[in-house]
Amino acid sequence: MRKIPEDLISAKDVAKQFRLSYQSVNYYTNIGLFKVRANRGNKRLYSSHQIARNLKKIREFKRKGYSLRVIRDELL
């Protein structure tokens, strides 16, 4: 069995670590704001470094009143 890199965390851990709801993590993934880095069984894994970077940008844009659609277009 291959070892999971320490930087990769589950959606549940993303929610806990970054103070988001689990539903928000799933929604942000579905609209392309968060990228799944690996799958282990039915478990999606995310790069905690990438989530932190993207979430900082998302929160900045949200404070300025931008919609998630605009934010997604800016991050892509």
* Domain segments of the chain as ranges: 8-75
pLDDT at 74 over 70: yes
In terms of Cβ atoms closer than 10 Å to its own Cβ (0-12, 13-18, 19+), residue 44 is: buried
The whole-number pLDDT of residue 52 equals 95
Which tens digits make up the pLDDT trace of 34-70? 999 998 888 999 999 999 999 999 999 999 999 999 9
Average pLDDT, the chain: 91
Q: Given this structure, which CATH class describes domain 8-75?
A: mainly alpha
Contact of 63 with 76, CB cutoff 8 Å: no
Cα(12)–Cα(6) distance, integer angstroms:
15
Question: Given pLDDT bands bounded at 50, 70 and 90, which one contains residue 7?
Answer: confident
